[in-house]
Structure formats: C-alpha cells, structure tokens
Amino acid sequence: MAAFICLFTETIPAGLLPQISEGLGISEALAGQLVTLYAFGSLLAAIPLTTATRGWRRRPLLLLIMVGFLVFNSVTAMSSNYTLTLAARFLAGVSGGVLWGMAAGYARRMVPDALKGRALAVAMVGSPLALALGVPAGTFLGTMVGWRTVFGIMSLLTVLLVAWISWKMPDFEGQSTEQKLPLHKVFVMKGIRPVLAVVLVWVLAHNILYTYIAPYLAQVGLARRVDLILLIFGMTSIVGLWITGMWIDRMQRRLVLISLAAFALAAMLLGIGSSQPIVIYLAVALWGLTFGGAGTLLQTAVAEAAGESVDVAQSMLVTAWNLAIGGGGLIGAILLEAIDVRSFPWVLFILLLFALLVAWSAREHGFTSKKHG
C-alpha cells in the first residue's frame, strides 16, 4: 500500500494536467512541473536521508514517511498557490525517496533467506498496480469530481495505512554504528556498480518510450489507442511481477537476462512492425511482461551485493532510477526533435544490448546464479 500511494502520488498529476492547470490558473507546461519537482525531491533525498536514517528503528521511520505523504498530499489538495503546491510536491518526493531507500531492506528482514526475493516482489506489487489501475482510475475520478478530491482520497488512504502499520507491522532495529559502511565503500563493493549500470540503462530505455508513447503511437496510426496500449502494458506488467515473485529466489540471474533479451526483442518488433497494429500490441505486451518485475529483480540484486549495507545501496538504486526517468524525458525530447519518433525502438535496442552485456558479464558479483537454501 505504501508503494501504491508513493507511485500514485508521483504519477497522477500527469493524468490530470488540464484540470490542475485550470484549478491553479497556470499553463499545462507549468502544471507538468508538479511531476518534475516530485522526481527532483526523490533524487536529492534518497542517498543523504537514507544514510542519515539507517540507524533509526524501521517502523517509526515508515510511519514518519507516511505521515509526510499525508501532510504533503493534503496541502496539494487544498493549496491554491502554485509555489506552495510545488513545495508540497518536492517534499512528497523527499518522502518517496526515503521510502524506496528503506522498503526493500524492511520487507526482506521479515522472512527467511529462501523467501527474500518473493517478499520483495509482494511488497512492491503496489507499484505496477498504481500504474495499471490507480492512475487510470484516478484520472477518470479527477475528471468527474475534481483533481483536489483525488489527492484528498490519497490522504484518507494514508490515514488508514498509518493505523494499519501501527497495529500490524513488525518493527526492526536500524543499523548499529559499527555496521555502517561509508557511502563510497558501499559504492565500490563488488557487484554494486554493474547493478547500478543496468538500472540506469534499463530504466532509461523504458522511459524514453513510456514518456513519449503518445507521439510514437500517433506516428504508427494508433493515436486513439493510447489508453488501450497503456492498459495492456499495465496488466502484463502485473503478470510479469507475479512471474518474478514465483521464480526470483531460484533463478534471479536468468530472469534478468531473459527480461532484457525479451525487451530488446520487443523494441525490435516496434521498429520493424510499425505498420502492423497487431505487432505493436504484441510488442507492448512483451514490454510490460519484462518490465513488471524489473524493480524487484534489480532491488534484489543490489540488496544481495550490499549485504548489511542494503539501505544505502537501495538509495543509490533510487537515485539511478530517478536519473533514468529524467534522462528518458530529456533524451526522448532530443530524439523527437532531432531525428524522428521512429528512431526510438532502435535506440532502445542498442541500450538494451548494452545492459544485457553488463548483466551477462556480472556473473561473479551483481547478477549471480547462486540459489538460496
């Protein structure tokens, strides 16, 4: 639920830009900065705040993060001042950055070693659900009853979640001073850098296409099918996460390699089959299937490479992930202006081959084939 609230909070303004721009009396381009400021908050906060709070007990930290979402979403729902709204979005992003930094380690500590990967997959199921169901439902609701109501509903859900965490969640100690490795020592641990490189390239490839899916579909004659295409992507990504949760503790390395290879195949299909709608639909389904489990696979890989320093390593992953989101928007815009939207699949294909090569090479450290007991 925390993952759902976090990702929903991040992405919902994109579906409600016309209503937000009208409500705040600003242009849609300025309304779009509500997404930018959130990502910027996550990017800046993930490493320093995760490092600063890794000695804190886990449940109080999670409660503080969720109270942050409650306050900043409530401010967004009630604010009529653009600057105040931007500040609330930035601080909501800070909450999100700390959540992603600590959530994986928290979830993995609740179960025995043989189930750590599956526990992470279960904990992260809120992310694809937010994209596949939450954002479309929130967008529909926003057009019916107003965008402020949508943020108000998020705050109400957060209140319920805070009560649930207080009642049911187990608590764990933070890291002791002796266990804390300095940031640079975590970064140079074997396996950390190959995983971060794959995170950056894989998520960059995804975001180049996801951010500019509407212009791409317009070019291939499917301009009126954007909602259907995104629904196909969302539903297959949930299936992808389910498959990952089933198999991650037995074949994590193979799942990473298969996912990257299949995404590269999907990119190639988008490149050569752009005149055939059925090929586009199949390629998007394959893309969703391979990306649904990406977060869980990459978080598990970085957690296993980092050992006791999991939270700091996760914060590096969050930073790389947010850089890739921003980079996808920037590189996609350059490709759109300088070349053509039809170049996207081939750029993706090259990026994914590079990611596949890095993952393949990281057999000893990073993407290992070791099995849990």
10-residue mean pLDDT profile of the chain (373 residues): values are 92 82 86 84 88 90 97 96 95 93 87 87 84 80 90 96 95 73 80 95 92 82 82 89 90 95 97 90 96 91 86 87 83 85 93 97 84 46
Q: Are 209 and 329 in contact (CB under 8 A)?
A: no
pLDDT, residue 176, reads 66
Residue 173 is which amino acid? Answer: E
Q: How far apart are CA 325 and CA 319, in angstroms?
A: 10
pLDDT, residue 373, reads 37
Q: How far apart are CA 257 and CA 259, in angstroms?
A: 5
Note the pTM of the prediction, 2 decimals. 0.81
Q: How far apart are CA 8 and CA 96, in angstroms?
A: 11
pLDDT, residue 178, reads 54
Half-sphere exposure of 77 (CA within 13 A, CB side): 19
Question: Where does the chain have alpha helices with state H?
Answer: 2-15, 17-24, 28-53, 58-78, 82-109, 116-123, 126-129, 135-145, 147-168, 183-187, 192-211, 213-219, 226-272, 277-291, 294-306, 310-338, 344-361
Q: How far apart are CA 135 and CA 235, in angstroms?
A: 13
> 193: which 2 tokens?
């850098």
pLDDT, residue 207, reads 86
Q: All domains of the chain, ordered by start, with CATH?
A: 2-179 (1.20.1250.20), 183-361 (1.20.1250.20)
Q: Which residue has the tokens 């590096």?
A: 316
> 188: which 2 tokens?
């140079």
